[in-house]
Amino acid sequence: MNKVLIVDDEVRFLQSIEAGLASYADRFNVRTATNGRSALEILNAEKIDLLVTDLRMPEMDGFALLAHVAITSPFMPAIVMTAFATPEIEEKVNITGTARLLEKPIDFERLAEAILEGLQQEGKEGAVAGFSLANFLQLLSLEQKTCLLNIRNDRSDGYIYLEQGEIAAAVAGAIKGEDALFFLLACENVRIIFKKLPQKKIAKVINKPLMSLLMEGMRRVDEENHRLTVTQTAAKNRQPPATDSTEEKEIPHQPNNGGKVMSKLEEILEKMRDIEGFMAVGVFTPNGEMAAQVTTTNLKLAEIGSLANDVLLKAQKATDVMNVGRGQVVHIEAPKAHVIARCLNEADDFSQTQSGKAHIHLIMLLSRDANLAMGKIKLEAIIHQVAESFR
C-alpha cells in the first residue's frame, strides 16, 4: 500500500491530520514527522510514495527537505502546506505537474484529494519534487528566506544568493549578476542544494524585484528558443538564417516582455510623484510579487507591499463570505502613513484570474498629511494604464 509522509512541527496539527485522513486508510498509510531531519530518517528507512510538508520548521525546514528529496528521490510527488497560498500561486505551482500547494488551515477533504492525485503522478519527471527553479525561488521569496543555493545539472554549476526573499547575487562559472541568474533559470533538470552561508557577507549586486527578473528570464528563454527554431528551420531548408527579419524585431514588442514592460510600468508610476505627500507606489501580481516600483524614500516596498497584499486578499475573502461582493480597495490609516491597496481584476469571475484579462494589485504609500483625495484619483487613473501590460 502507498505510504504518505506528512511533516509539520505542530504535533496537534499532525494528530488532527491523521484523524482526518483515517477514512482513507484503505487507500494509503500515513507516517508523520515533526521536522525535516526526522523526515529524512523515515525516508532513508522505508519507501515513501508522496511527501506532504510545511515550510517553516526547526532543525531542517521544508525548503531544505524538498531540495534533498529532489536529489535522492527526484520523481517523488510533493504537497506543500503554507499560510501564504493564493489561488494564483497555487495555479503556478500546480502547472509543474507533480507538486501541489495547499493553504493553511488545511481542509482534510482537499488534502486527501491532492494526495490521491499526487499518488497517480508518482514516477513522472519533476524538479525539486515537482517545482521548477522559478517556482522554488517564489516560495523562498514568500517566506523571506536568506540562503545560498547551489544550482547544478550535468553541464552547469552555479549559485544564487537570496537576502530576505530577494535575489541579491548570482554566479555561474565566469558569469555574474543578472546574466548568471538568467543562465541558471534557463538550465533544465537542475538540482538545488542549500549551502551554508559564508562568514563574510555576500555583496548585493542584483537590485530588481524577483518578478521582473523572472519575467526577463522567461523572455530570454523564449527569445533563444525562437532563435534556435529559426536557425533549425533555415538549416533544414538549406538557407542561411534571417538577419534583418521582422521576426527579430517582434520579440521586444510583445506586451509582456520583461525589460520593456518594466520600463513602461515605471514610466506610468512616475505620474504619481507630483502628489503632495507621495512616498511610494508599486505594481504587484495577485501573489504579492512586485513587478515595478517608484519610491521617494528608503522604504522596502517589496516587503510592505507583500504584507499589504496579504491584507487585501484576506479582506476580499471576508467580503465574499459576507455576500456583499469582492472588495477592491483596502485603506489602512497608520500613525505615519496611509497604505492603500487597490485590486483590478478584469476576469468575469472576480475570484479567479482569467487568461487575456488583467489581474493586478497597486500598493500606494502616502504620508500622514498627504493629499489623500488626489492620491486616490490618480491611483484610479493609472491602474487602467498599468493593466494594459498584463492582458
Asked whether the whole model's pTM tops 0.75, one would answer: no
Give the percent of the chain with pLDDT over 70. 83
In sequence order, the β-bridge partners of residue 136 are none
Residue 225 has pLDDT above 90, yes or no: no
Rounded to a whole number of angstroms, the CA Rg of the chain reads: 23
Rounded distance, CA 200 to CA 207, Å? 20
Considering only CA atoms, which of 339, 380, 386, 367 is closest in space to residue 275? Answer: 367
Rounded distance, CA 292 to CA 283, Å? 5
Q: Of the ranges 76-90, 240-254, 303-317, which one carries the lowest mean pLDDT score?
A: 240-254
CATH topology of domain 2-134: Rossmann fold (3.40.50)
Say which residues have a Cβ less than 8 Å from residue 126's Cβ, sequence separation at least 6. 70, 74, 75, 77, 96, 97, 98, 99
Rounded distance, CA 80 to CA 139, Å? 10
Architecture of the domain whose range is 258-390: 2-Layer Sandwich (3.30)
Rounded distance, CA 354 to CA 391, Å? 9
pLDDT the model gives residue 244: 46
Does residue 285 contact residue 267 with C-beta atoms inside 8 Å? no
pLDDT the model gives residue 99: 53
Q: What's the whole-number average pLDDT of the chain?
A: 81
Max avg pLDDT among 50-59, 217-226, 306-315, 346-355: 50-59
Pairing of strands 191-195, 337-345: unpaired
pLDDT the model gives residue 347: 82
How does pLDDT run across 101-140, given as a tens digit for each residue?
Answer: 787 888 888 899 989 988 886 544 433 444 578 878 877 8
Helix (H) or strand (E) holding 333: strand 329-333
Q: Is 326 exposed, middle or buried (0-12, 13-18, 19+ CB in 10 A)?
A: middle
Q: What is the residue extent of each domain of the chain?
A: 2-134, 144-195, 258-390
Give the DSSP letter string of 243-288. Answer: SS-HHHHHGGGSTT-HHHHHHHHHHHHGGGTTSTTEEEEEEE-TTS
Residue 98 has pLDDT above 50, yes or no: no
pLDDT the model gives residue 242: 53
